[in-house]
Amino acid sequence: MSDHLVPLGKPEKEIRVKNSRFVASLSLATSVKSANAFIQYIEKKYPDASHHVPAYIIGHGTSKISHANDDGEPSGTAGRPALAVLEGSGLGDVVVIITRYFGGTKLGTGGLVRAYSDAVRSVLSVTPKAKKVKAHLIELSLPYSYYETISKMVREFGGKEYDADFGGDVKLTIHIPSSSFDKFKIKLLEITSGAVVPCVLSSDETLLSPLINHSDKG
């Protein structure tokens, strides 16, 4: 699972081709139901568009479900090219919908293929990515004095806070990557002198670990 890439956020990018507008909208989708919900949302967002061309990939590798639709464009000129670009991105659990506003000039078969392909490439170029990582869901009960230190430590080990209940003590629920759990547990016991012991609620969790684009720095 650690090599499974997925998108983050809901990026949107517009390109123009001979007065036609192509707006590509992309989102994470972990099921066909969630993909269809996003498609319907975009259709309602742009109700006066000429076409709404969707494509999605649910899952990864041999267990994925792929779908595309030309939505009235000539067969094979819209949905299939969009899906091909999506498949080439290496992403799974992803849905894209390209909204077209016709500009009065026909693009021809080749022009449509290029336009829909370029629209998907454009939104992929601004899409943050993450790895799907196997994780444990853990509950910690700790004194307030340890909260800031442990919260920082969770982030250092690539984890995320899921919930926090500030009562007599702090009851903290976190996700920690399975590969980091043993080292996290050892350090946790060290810094709390054994006072805080992690309770594993579930070992079959998924955590999204954002990829850092180092080329953007500086």
Name the pTM for this structure.
0.80
Find the mean pLDDT for residues 125-130: 95
| Domains of the chain by start residue, with CATH | 5-127 (3.30.230.30), 131-214 (3.30.70.240)
Look at residues 149, 16, 5, 11 and name the one whose alpha carbon lies nearest to residue 91: 5
Instruction: Determine the straight-line distance between the first and last CA of the chain, rounded to whole angstroms.
Output: 31
3-state secondary structure of 24: strand
Segments in the chain forming alpha helices (H): 32-45, 79-88, 108-124, 144-156, 181-191
Per-residue pLDDT reduced to its tens digit, 43-94:
999 999 999 999 999 998 888 999 999 999 999 999 999 999 999 999 999 9
CB 101 within 8 A of CB 50: yes
29's CB contacts (< 8 A; 6+ apart) are 35, 38, 56, 58, 93, 94, 95
Per-residue pLDDT reduced to its tens digit, 7-24:
999 999 999 999 899 999
